Homo-oligomer: A and B are copies of this chain.
Amino acid sequence: MADEFDTIEQDAKVEEERPDEAYQLDRKAVSAILYAVDIEDQAKLIELMDPLHPADIADLLEQINAYDRSRLIRLYDREFDGDILSELDESIRDEVIAVLTPQVLTQAVRDLDSDDVVDLVEDMDDSQQEAILDALEDADRLAVKQALSYPEFSAGRLMQREVVMAPEHWTVGDAIDHLRSSSEEDLPDQFYHIVVVDPRLHPVGNVTLGKVMRSRRDVPLLDIVEPTFQVIPATQPESDVAYAFNQYHLISAPVVDDEGRLIGLITIDDAMAVLDEEHEEDIMRLAGVGEGSLSDRVIETTKQRMPWLAVNLLTSIAASLVIAQFEVAIAQIVALAVLMPIVASMGGNAGTQSLTVAVRAIATKDLTGSNVWRVIRREVLVGLFNGLLFAVVMGVVGLVWFGSPALGYVIAAAMVVNMVVAGFAGTVIPVILDRVGVDPALASGAFVTTVTDVVGFFAFLGLAAAVLL
């Protein structure tokens, strides 16, 4: 009942009282759409879907179940837009494509820009890819195939091929006359810059359309190029492309081949999408979740999460082997078993803090050869200070709880040791993994927790065995 009430009032107060809900799909709208599907009212469905952006339609398809999804797509039929496919999460894209009739699919794909087709087909198996490519016109098919010849996740896959360029001797007047005399088909759908090129087609500068508009006709284009100009090699990884756009506030940047010749253009909206995906990947990898998404099925998700759990099982068993060395001590002082998880857990948390900071700093290029030792020293000192603080707290807890000052000293000392080690391992391990070419977001967690578990149990139980027995 509470939910129904919320929904009814939602339209009126969405902005003021629930600002977090902006841009979220309206539950009432979703229900109305599903109802239209239930009663197979195609006209109503099309009317309800009309105001939705393809990105919102894709979100809608991701959020409903597979049965509703296929019924909706069949009823929506020819209205199905190619952009919906581009926006769909990969986990259900194949399923959606399988539901579309060949005619609808062909039309949908033909409406897409070539860089969107590349994004669509790059993860498909060969036969499916062939089917999509066959649907394209010759020029587009060639463009897509050429883009696919660049490595996955490279600038070459990300770029659009349509670029507005001008020779370096042109003036503002030349550029305006050229643009206004070009037919609509010769110019890209969206463009914000003119790329100035030398006779060998090497880009030498970017001129914004705004500057062209507000400058006198006799001004040479070279006099009004943007102060910040970055040329992107086609083989550059897309993560670096996203970094460059964010670092230098680029709106578009020319892409060049091995010889430095202009072959395409990347715009900031594509770079923003890459930045978003990279972050998503980092967060998921830090948590050991793998490539998963919310629309994956149970079995796929189970498989995706298994490797990390298996690694964690091995590291836990390693920690247990350490505990097993001190069975005699534990049998004599059961308090050790009660307290030992605290030392390991505090080390694990401190280590995760350090490693998260290090992994992010590596990704944002803020942790470099110039400052790595200063960062390590800082993390070790932070571990030491927090270790000392929580050592005092735990020493008192140990003393009060079990009435043994010696137990208090032991847990305090183990806490300091483990948190210093956590700060060191949490920084050094991601740095080393990065140097040897392993993604630190993916692998650091397992190593760091192993270190803090082993050191935590060993320091606490070892000290206890030495001091208390």
CB distance from A249 to the nearest CB of B (A): 5
Q: A169-209 vs B: 1/0 string, CB under 8 Å?
A: 00000001001101010011011100000000000000011
Give the oligomeric copy count. 2
Contact A268 B251 (CB under 8 A): yes
Contacts of A56 in B (CB 8 A): 247
Nearest chain B CB to A459 CB, angstrom units: 15
Chain B, Cβ-Cβ closest to A362: B20
Residues of chain B within 8 A of A280, CB atoms compared: 279, 360
A63 lies within 8 A of chain B by Cβ: yes
Report A336 CB to chain B, min CB distance, Å: 8
Q: Please report the C-alpha to C-alpha distance between residue A26 and residue B288 in the assembled complex, in whole angstroms.
A: 33
Which chain A residues numbered 263 to 277 have a C-beta less than 8 Å away from chain B? 268-269, 271-273, 275-276
The answer to whether the Cβ of A292 comes within 8 Å of any Cβ in the partner chain is: yes
Max chain B C-beta neighbours (<10 A), residue from A56, A286, A352: A352
Residue from B248, B306, B317, B367 in contact with A386 in the complex, judged by beta carbons closer than 8 Å: B306
* Contact bitstring A28-48, B, C-beta under 8 A = 1, else 0: 001000000000000000000
Which residues of B sit under 8 angstroms from A316, Cβ to Cβ? 341-342, 345-346
Interface size class of chain A, counting residues whose CB lies under 8 Å from the partner chain: 35 or more
**Is A62 an interface residue, CB under 8 A from the partner?**
yes
B313 in contact with A353 (CB, 8 Å): no
- Does A394 make an interface contact (CB < 8 A)? yes
For the complex, what is the distance from the CA of A75 to the CA of B357, rounded to whole Å?
A: 32
Q: Mark A366-398, 1 if CB is under 8 A from B, else 0.
A: 111111001100100110011001100110010
Stretch at the interface among A93-101, A126-134, A135-143, A324-332: A324-332
Q: Please, how many angstroms separate the alpha-carbon atoms of A323 and B340 in the complex?
A: 10
Mask: chain A, 309-320; 1 = CB below 8 Å from B; 0 = not: 110110111011
Interface of A is mostly: helix
Q: Is A106 an interface residue (CB 8 A)?
A: no
Contacts of A381 in B (CB 8 A): 298, 302
* A124 interfacial contact with B, CB 8 Å: no
Q: How far is the CA of A347 from the CA of B315 in the complex (A)?
A: 14
A319 to B320, CA, bound (A): 17
B233 touches A246 (CB 8 A): no
Q: Is A3 an interface residue (CB 8 A)?
A: yes
B187, B305, B386: the one within 8 Å of A309 (CB): B386
Q: Out of B236, B305, B367, B386, which one reaches A294, CB within 8 Å?
A: B367
A23 within 8 A of B: yes
Asked if A167 is at the interface of the complex by the 8 Å CB criterion, the answer is no
Q: Which of B213, B302, B360 is close to A176, meaning CB atoms less than 8 Å apart?
A: B213
**Set B233, B312, B353, B393: member contacting A289, Cβ < 8 A:** B353
Q: Does A468 contact B (CB under 8 A)?
A: no
- Whether A313 contacts B286 by the Cβ 8 Å rule is no
Residues of chain B within 8 A (CB-CB) of A3 are 369
Q: Are A313 and B346 in contact (CB under 8 A)?
A: yes
Could you name 6 residue pairs across A and B whose Cβ atoms are closer than 8 Å?
A184-B214, A284-B360, A289-B356, A294-B375, A298-B382, A320-B339
Give me the 9 closest cross-chain CB pairs, A-B, nearest first: A287-B356, A279-B279, A337-B337, A209-B209, A316-B342, A179-B213, A191-B210, A302-B385, A316-B345
